[in-house]
């Protein structure tokens, strides 16, 4: 079957007051692991591919088609989403490939420019039945530094969603991208005020830096889509490193990528119920 439209996954979660995990795919093993973890948990999941990952593979198509194939074969609802795209051409490519959702990231632009660019992309995607996520109040750390950035103002968020028509909004509430430790301090009061102000589901970026208890609390406060990447990459790398340390003679990548894939699947299966409140 085709990948599940992400609005069905996210809107269902928002209606039930639970969260849904959105995990970043770096290579085929990540996509396999994320789907396997979701199947083990019996819960929906979103596969995300970032602009940086598309660049790493030379284009979006190779890794994008692999993720779409995994979504079609899954035994649970799986959506495929373009994450942190600053390139309009990349958004168009994702839509053409069959992605059901894109994140257009113009958060570094001044507010009015962000609105104008996001509104244009949203109109283009909606005409083709594709959902759009945007970011307001830049979430820091995209270059690896723990820089929480500017908090999102609820009144500005309300106006932004109304002006652009986006389907989901990533907001800055204290998390930061690429954190290697899970000690980010979230502003739960701000999450609640944003939830009250904005009709679109809220997205928590930088969730690798947030511990389990605070992830669950963030969902209870109003977050719906929860993005995780670095936390899974740590599990992947740790398992591969452990295998290579104990088997230094190994040359076949399948020998160490297999355990790395299994480690990610196990962590996805553990995290999804945390977000789902189950």
Catalytic residues: 83
Q: Which residues share a beta bridge with 228? A: 23
Element (H, E) at 153: none
SS3 state at 254: helix
Retrieve residue 248's tokens.
């230094």
Q: What is the dihedral of CA 50, 52, 53, 55, to 10 degrees?
A: 130
Distance CA 31, CA 35 (A): 6
Task: Quote the distance between the C-alpha of residue 235 and its chain's center.
Answer: 17
Distance CA 221, CA 133 (A): 20
Q: Which residues share a beta bridge with 147? A: none
Give the burial class of 40: count Cβ atoms within 10 A of its Cβ; 0-12 exposed, 13-18 middle, 19 or more buried: middle
């Amino acid at each position: 079957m085709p990948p599940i439209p992400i609005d069905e996954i996210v809107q269902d979660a928002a209606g039930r007051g639970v969260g849904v995990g959105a995990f970043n795919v770096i290579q085929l093993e990540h996509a396999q692991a994320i789907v396997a973890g979701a199947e083990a948990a019996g819960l929906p999941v979103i596969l995300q591919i970032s602009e940086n990952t598309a660049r790493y593979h030379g284009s979006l198509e190779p890794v994008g088609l692999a993720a779409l194939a995994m979504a079609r074969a899954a035994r649970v609802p799986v959506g495929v989403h373009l994450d942190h795209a600053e390139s309009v051409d990349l958004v168009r490519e994702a839509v053409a490939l069959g992605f059901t959702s894109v994140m257009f990231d113009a958060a570094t632009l001044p507010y009015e420019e962000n609105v104008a660019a996001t509104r244009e992309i949203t109109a283009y995607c909606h005409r083709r039945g594709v959902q759009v996520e945007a970011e307001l109040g830049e979430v820091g750390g995209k270059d690896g530094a723990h820089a929480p950035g500017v908090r999102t103002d609820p009144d500005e968020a309300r106006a932004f969603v109304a002006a652009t028509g986006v389907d989901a909004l990533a907001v800055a509430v204290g998390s930061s991208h690429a954190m290697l430790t899970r000690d980010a301090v979230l502003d739960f009061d701000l999450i609640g005020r944003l939830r009250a102000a904005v009709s679109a589901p809220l997205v928590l970026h930088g969730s690798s830096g947030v511990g389990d208890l605070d992830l669950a609390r963030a969902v209870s406060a109003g977050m719906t889509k929860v993005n995780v990447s670095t936390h899974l990459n740590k599990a992947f790398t740790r398992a591969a490193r452990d295998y290579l340390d104990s088997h230094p003679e190994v040359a076949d990548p399948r020998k160490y990528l297999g355990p790395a894939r299994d480690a990610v699947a196990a962590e996805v299966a553990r995290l999804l119920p945390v977000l789902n409140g189950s």
